[in-house]
Structure 1
Amino acid sequence: MNRDLSPAARERVGGPSWAPPEQYADTVMRATGFATIFFTNEDGHPLHLHSVYSSAHPWQMVGGTMEPGERPWQTAVRECREETGIAPTGPPRLLASVFGPPGAEWPYSTMGLIFDGGQLTAAQIHSIALDPDEHDELRVLPLAEWEALMTSRDFARLCVVVEARRTGVAAYFDGQD
């Protein structure tokens, strides 16, 4: 890790260009990490869960925020079990990495990984047990039908993930035009 501070950071800490870890940590970007699992049905239609707490992003992939000390795949598996009752076994297959800048909704950047959960059978989808504190509905729809239900950024990210699965090439998404 390079702990050489920028000139502006050196002014703030009032010292040499090399800083102890706790000082250096105060000068770098803060971000929230998340991990999700992308599922489709056997026809390739994406599965999303309807959030009870986020009107800005009502339809979400299975997953959530990383806890301290947790690795991304561990987060995705834990969240999947909590939100659906499904226990993915892996191995993890990365579909996309996602970056979101800080904004009005959240003061930190967000950085996340989207893993491929594969195709679920109709019986598996029917057996999903939602956590009512987080989600009140699930839907499996053709890609085009998700557009009217999502923000343009969320739909663009979904399209990138679908394409990554189709091509087998992991994608990077930051929502910039």
Structure 2
Amino acid sequence: MSGTWLPPEQYIATVMKATAFACVHFTDEDDRPLQLHSVYSPAHPWQFVGGTMNPGERPWQTAVRECREETGITLAGPPARLLATVFGLPGTEWPYSTLGLIFDGGRLTEAQIRSIALAPEEHDEARILSLTEWKPLMPQRDFARLSAVLEARSTGKVAYFDTWDWETE
């Protein structure tokens, strides 16, 4: 670097561009993960509750909004414990990096699980399975991410998952 500051409009053109998302990780009372079946993403058929941040939103606000939209569950209180960060480099299909946060939504009761109201334009099924049962239903890196989130919840150590690159789709 020459020590010369670029005007903001020139500097902005040089920095990484990214989209951001926020999710909530739920389990049942036996710590089996909840995943939603996507109607729009065959590459990632089973997903956490969550989605892309809107302009002006903070990650926890996104998680709360997406949770309400996708399941009908309204999260209350301050931000939940962060379980994982997810990062992916851009690729030919998507020109931006991806950065995501996954929060702990806690354990759902049977009544809460039965009351899930899916947004049919996004998901057509909510399923709770053991980690072993999830493995054959997910691409390897989706399963690795789910496993890392479960481990983060049990250990209290936030997972850093940085292999969500678009080129590996």
Does the TM-score normalized on the shorter chain lie above 0.5? Answer: yes
The counterpart of 2:78, out of the listed 79, 83, 91, is 91
Please say if 1:81 is aligned against 2:68: yes
CA contact (8 A) 1:39 1:118 kept: yes
Deviation at 1:126, TM superposition (A): 0.5
**Counterpart secondary structure, 1:164:** helix
The one-letter code sitting in structure 2 at the alignment partner of 1:146 is W
Cα 1:147–1:170 change in 2 (3 A) is same
What letter is aligned with 1:150? M
Residue 146 of structure 1: aligned partner = 134
Tell whether the 8 Å contact from 1:83 to 1:130 is kept in structure 2 after alignment.
yes
Quote the offset at 1:101 in angstroms.
Answer: 1.2
DSSP-derived class of the 1:95 partner: strand
When the two structures are superposed, what TM-score results if normalisation uses the length of structure 2? 0.92
Give the partner amino acid of 2:116: I
Unaligned runs of 5+ residues in structure 2 are: 165-169
State the Cα distance separating 1:107 from its structure 2 match: 1.8
Tell me the C-alpha RMSD between the 2 structures. Answer: 1.4
For 1:156, the equivalent position in structure 2 comes to 144
Give the superposition deviation at 1:91: 2.7
What amino acid is aligned across from residue 98 of structure 2 in structure 1? T
Which protein, 1 or 2, shows the higher relative CO under an 8 Å CA cutoff with sep ≥ 6? 2
Aligned to 2:4: 17
Select the residue among 27, 37, 40 that pairs with 2:14. 27
**1:100 is aligned to 2:88:** yes
Q: Which runs of 5+ in 1 are unaligned?
A: 1-5, 8-15
- Name the SS for the 1:74 alignment partner: helix
- SS of the equivalent of 2:119 reads coil
Deviation at 1:61, TM superposition (A): 0.2
1:157/1:175 contact within 8 Å kept: no
* SS of alignment partner, residue 137 of structure 1: strand
* Structure 1 ranges of 4+ moved more than 3 A: none
In the superposition, the TM-score normalised over structure 1's length comes to 0.88
User: Residue 45 of structure 1 contacts residue 140 of structure 1 at CA under 8 Å; is this kept in 2?
Assistant: yes
CA distance in 1: counterparts of 2:41 and 2:86, whole angstroms: 19
Is 1:130 aligned with 2:126?
no
Higher-Rg structure is 1
Counterpart-to-counterpart distance in 2, 1:140 and 1:56: 20
Corresponding position of 1:42 = 29
Shift of 1:89: 1.2
Q: Deviations over 1:42-87 (max 9, x none)?
A: 0000000001101111100000000111100000000000000001
Deviation at 1:175, TM superposition (A): 2.4
Which sits farther off after the overlay, 90-99 or 121-130? 90-99
Q: Counterpart in 1 of 2:167? A: none
Give the total of aligned pairs: 163
